[in-house]
A and B are shown apart, each in its own frame.
Chain A
Amino acid sequence: AQKITQTQPGMFVQEKEAVTLDCTYDTSDPSYGLFWYKQPSSGEMIFLIYQGSYDQQNATEGRYSLNFQKARKSANLVISASQLGDSAMYFCAMREPTGANNLFFGTGTRLTVIP
């Protein structure tokens, strides 16, 4: 079974608008971590934001925020005030407490920001 599901293969957003990228996860463990990474066309993987399962508040990092809905097992990434440089592939990932720092990745969402 898929541990991480990203149902939006592609998304478009107008420059300066906000956009939400969906991510749902599947785990029976109460302790886990959720990550979002950005992959621009140059190919590198850039860490954006992290949410721990016990964190009370939604994580925020600049224009990125994570809308964490534990009961729904969703961890959507919200990008505010989109910029052309936000055009990239975005991956949601989850870590379970196995002792190793293994991340399970979703299939990604390609975001295109339209001028």
Chain B
Amino acid sequence: EAQVTQNPRYLITVTGKKLTVTCSQNMNHEYMSWYRQDPGLGLRQIYYSMNVEVTDKGDVPEGYKVSRKEKRNFPLILESPSPNQTSLYFCASSSPWQGTTGELFFGEGSRLTVL
């Protein structure tokens, strides 16, 4: 089954304790991205990657890191989480959009609470 898998789905942590949210896709997609969803703000892009070893900042990258060492994996790293990073996080992937709709396939989301 084609899917994007995120882990953990739910996490409560404390300020300053480094954490990683993993994301893996089995569709051989080149493009992957992370979004955060906050009430009243919709989804905002954190980082994206167009291919292995190619990453770039989205609209809200502060406090986050990413890496893309393999095509299927795109982990999101919070080196020193703060309460304002409490949010619902989505990983997404897609094939190149030229010639197709290129819709994003989303993971199920990871709800993170930073105390």
Chain A interfacial positions (CB closer than 8 Å to B): 4, 6, 9, 33, 35, 37, 43-45, 47, 50, 52, 91, 93, 95, 99-108
Contact = CB atoms under 8 A, between A and B. Distances in A.
Nearest to B109: A43
Contact of A91 (B31, B42, B92, B96): B42
Given A44-B106, A45-B90, A100 B42 contact: no
Q: SS class of chain B's interface: helix, strand, loop or mixed?
A: strand
B102 interface: yes
Contact of A33 (B43, B90, B101, B109): B101
Interface residues of B, number: 28
A4 B45 CA distance: 14
Interface in B87-108: 88, 90, 92, 94, 96-97, 101-106, 108
A100 B31 contact: yes
B103 A35 contact: yes
B17 to A, nearest CB: 24
A52 B106 CA distance: 20
A103 B104 contact: yes
